[in-house]
Every structure is written in C-alpha cells, then in structure tokens.
Structure 1
C-alpha cells in the first residue's frame, strides 16, 4: 500500500461542512442540514454523520445520502485500542452504513467511548491515556478499521476536563499517526480545552505536529464552567467559540498543507445563529482549487 502522504492526494477537497448525529434535529430550533445547504451551499459542502451502529441513520442523514451529497462517517462507538470491539456484527454494520453514506473517509474521537461492553446510548467519551505505551494499541486499531472498510480512518483528539499521562496531546497523536501511517483530524475546540487544562498557551506543541497529515479540522463553541473552584470547558457545540479555539484554527489552517475539510459543529442551533461561524471559518480558509488543497 502507498504511504499516507501519497494516498492523501486522492482524497477530495470537501470544503466547509456541518455535523449531525442521530436525532439531532429533534430539538426545537435545531439545524436542518438540507435547509442549510439550500440556503448556503458554501456552508454545507458535506455532512459529517455521527454514527452509533446500533442506532443506524436517522431521516436527515438518509435524505442527505439519498441525494448523493458528500459525507464523512464519524464513529461514536468504538474503542480503537480494544481488539474485542472489532466484532463481526459491528463491522458488518459499519460496512452497511458506509455503503449507504458513501463517505469520503471515516473519522472519530480516538478515546474511550464505553466502559465494559458496548451498549445502546452509552455516549461516554474519555481521552486516551497520554503515555507511549498507549500509542501502539490505538495505531493497530486504526489500521484494522482501515483494512476492514477500505477507507482512510482519521483519529480525532477527544475532549476532556482532565488528562492523564505525561505526553502532550499533540505529541501523542503525532506518534499514533506515524505508527499507523494515517492522517489526522484536529479538533480545535478540544485542543483548546487540553491547553487550558494543562495551563499552556493555545499554540503550545505546534512545532511537533505532522501538519502534512492533518486532513480535517473541527471548530465548535464551548462554555467555560466553574465547579467548586475548578474551571473547565463544556464542549457544547454552541455558537460562542472561545478565542483560543479561533487562534488554534487560524494557525492550523495556515500550516495544514493537505487540509481537505473543516466541520463547524453546531447541529443544535438555528441557521441564523450559525451563519456567522461559517463566515468566519470561510475567511480563515479561502476557496481554493483542489490542486492547492
């Protein structure tokens, strides 16, 4: 198989996209992805579909896919470092859903999605333990999923209020990407949470990032909380994006020479409220031809 830096040349430039997951539009005032595309196709070049295999796809995701519109598949139910999670029924479900969505690639937070057996509606997410011993199992899971689906699999840095392990989050995922020979999804809001939790400036660790492997970025709102004197950030996907997130996004766009997609995660907000977010992201990443992406 060619190396990732050769394979990335075949990945499409998807542009700006929006996220969804099962039942996201059931909340009053939540975003309708197809309506956003009708009104502002520049903001909805693709749909990133969050998937728990046991739930499948909701009507919004199916309608988008039925129109032949671009997608990515964001898994919400796999502990990549656990070989037991790669059971035959789950893999069959992934392949069936991917067959319907026809995603450009798979992606998802490379953390702990469940404790114990996988179960419907768990939606637990914890970051990985940031030690060198955790790199190989995670990389092996990425390779296994890539081989099982025939699609690139981009690990995403998960959110967290606290992180365990001596490695910087960016160093950890740089090692994972090299060992798995894969690309990366950098969530700018999640990284801002990590830097804040460790008392670091927003761009700490940037010089060690393999920026030519960063294929996708996420931008999302976050709310600063205070619990008994402990300040932390809630990853609420709202419309208030922290200044640190914007700083990280701007620098990442400038460095990520193989960037193909940016998702604005705002699925539970009305269209009018999210359009300024898309406009600001678009200003960071002006339209370019695929050859320049």
Structure 2
C-alpha cells in the first residue's frame, strides 16, 4: 500500500462543513443542516455525522445521504487501543453505515469513549494517556479499522479538563500518525483546552508537528468555568469561540499543506447564530489561498 502522504492526494477537498449526531436537530433552535446548505451552500459543503452504532442514523443524516451530498463519518463508540472493541457485529454495522453515508473518510476522538464493555448511551470521552507506551496500541487500532473498512481513519485529539502523561498532545498524535501511517484531525478547540490546562501558549508545540498529515480541522465554541479555584473550559459547541481557538485555527490553516476540510461544530444553534463563525472560517481559508 502507498504511504499516507501519497494516499492523501486521492482524498477529496470538502471545504467547510457542519457536524451533527443522532437527535441533535430535535433541540429547540437547533441547526437544520439541509437548511444551512440551501441558504449558504459554501458553509455546508459536507456533513460530519457523529455515529454511535447502537443508535444508528437519524432522519437528518439519512436525508442528507439520500441527496448524495458529501459526508464524513465521526465515530462515537470505539476505543481504538482496545482490540476487544473490534467485534464482528460492530464492524458489520460500521460497514453498513458506510454504505449509506459514503463518507470521504472516518474520523473521531482517539480517546476513551467507554469504560468497560461498550454500552448504549455511555458516551464517556476522556483523552488518552500521553505516554510513549500508549502510541502503539492506538496506532494498531487505527490500522485495523482502516483495513476493516477500506476508509482512511483520522484520529482526533479529544477534549479534557486535565491530561495525564509526559508528552505534549501534538507530539503524542504526531507519533501515532507516523506509527499508523495515517492522517490527522486537529480539533482547535480541544487543543486550546490542552494548552490552557498545561499553562502553555496557544501555539506551543507547533514547530515540530506533522502538519502535512493534517487533513481536517474542527472549530467550536467553549464555555469557561471556575469553581473552588479550578478553571476549565467546557466543549459546548456554542457560538462563543475562544480567542485561543481562533489563533490555533489560523496558524493551523496556514501550515496544513494537505488540509481538505474544516468543520464548524455548532449543531445546536440557529443558522443566524452560526453564520458569523462560518464567515470567519472562510476568511481564514481565503487568507491561506492568497498567501
């Protein structure tokens, strides 16, 4: 098989897209992805569908797929570093979902989605332990899922209020990408949370990162909290994007030579509320193209 830096040339350029997951559109004032596409086609070039296999696809995701519009598949239920998670029933259902969505690639937070056996609605998400010993098991899971589905698998840096391990988050995922020979999904909001938790500047660790492996970026709002002297950021996918997130996004867009897609994660907000986020993301992309 050709190496990833050769394979990436065959991946489509999707541009700006929006995310959803099962039932997201049912909340009052939630985003209608198809309506966003009708009103602002450049902001909804594709739909990133969050999939928990036991729930399946909701009406919004199915309607989008039936139109033949572009998608990506964002898994919500696999611990990549646990071989027992790759059971035949789950893999069969993943392949069936791929048949419906025809995603450009698979992606998802490479952390701990559940503790113990996978269970319906569990939806725990913790970051990986940032130690060298944790790299190989995660890389092996990425390769296994890629081979089982025939799709590229892009691991994403998960959110967290605290992170355990000696490695910087970017160094950890650069090692994973090299070991698995894969691309990456960089979540700018999640990285901003890590940098803040470690007391680092927003662009710390950027110098030696594997930017040519970054295929997709996420931009999302975050809500600041403080209690009893502990400060943290909630990954709420709201419309208040932190300045650190924008700074990371701008720097990442300038460096990611194989960037194919940007998702603005804002699924529970109205079109009027989210348009300014897409406008700013589009401006950052335009600046990259002009540079």
TM range (shorter): over 0.9
Which stretches of structure 1, 4 residues or longer, exceed 3 Å deviation after superposition?
none
In the alignment, structure 1 residue 224 sits paired with structure 2 residue 224:
yes
C-alpha displacement of 1:288: 8.8
**Mapping for residues 87-98 of structure 1, pairs under 5 Å:** 87-98=87-98
CA distance in 1, matches of 2:47, 2:179: 29
CA distance in 2, matches of 1:78, 1:207: 31
CA distance in 2, matches of 1:286, 1:203: 21
CA distance in 2, matches of 1:288, 1:47: 23
CA distance in 1, matches of 2:150, 2:39: 34
Hey, what does 1:118 align to over in structure 2?
118
CA-based RMSD of the aligned residues comes to 1.1
Tell me if the contact between 2:161 and 2:197 (Cα under 8 Å) persists in the aligned partners: yes
In the alignment, structure 1 residue 280 sits paired with structure 2 residue 280:
yes
Tell me if the contact between 2:254 and 2:288 (Cα under 8 Å) persists in the aligned partners: no
CA distance in 1, matches of 2:111, 2:227: 24
Hey, what does 1:32 align to over in structure 2?
32
- Residues 96-145 of structure 1 show CA distances to partners (whole Å, capped at 9, x for unaligned) of 00100000000000000000110111110000000000000000000000
Matched residue SS, 1:207: coil
In the alignment, structure 1 residue 43 sits paired with structure 2 residue 43:
yes
- Residues 226-251 of structure 1 show CA distances to partners (whole Å, capped at 9, x for unaligned) of 12110000000000000000000000
- Residues 144-178 of structure 1 show CA distances to partners (whole Å, capped at 9, x for unaligned) of 00000000000000000000001000000000000
Matched residue SS, 2:207: helix
**Mapping for residues 1-293 of structure 1, pairs under 5 Å:** 1-286=1-286
C-alpha displacement of 1:286: 1.8
Matched residue SS, 1:215: strand
- Residues 171-194 of structure 1 show CA distances to partners (whole Å, capped at 9, x for unaligned) of 000000000000000000000000
Matched residue SS, 1:108: strand
CA distance in 2, matches of 1:288, 1:68: 29
Please, which runs of 5 or more residues in structure 2 have no aligned partner? none
C-alpha displacement of 1:48: 0.1
Matched residue SS, 2:18: strand
Matched residue SS, 1:176: helix
- TM-score, normalised to structure 2, is 0.98
Tell me if the contact between 2:220 and 2:265 (Cα under 8 Å) persists in the aligned partners: yes
- TM-score, normalised to structure 1, is 0.98
CA distance in 2, matches of 1:172, 1:101: 30
Matched residue SS, 1:116: coil
C-alpha displacement of 1:287: 9.0
CA distance in 2, matches of 1:108, 1:178: 17
> What is the aligned residue count?
290
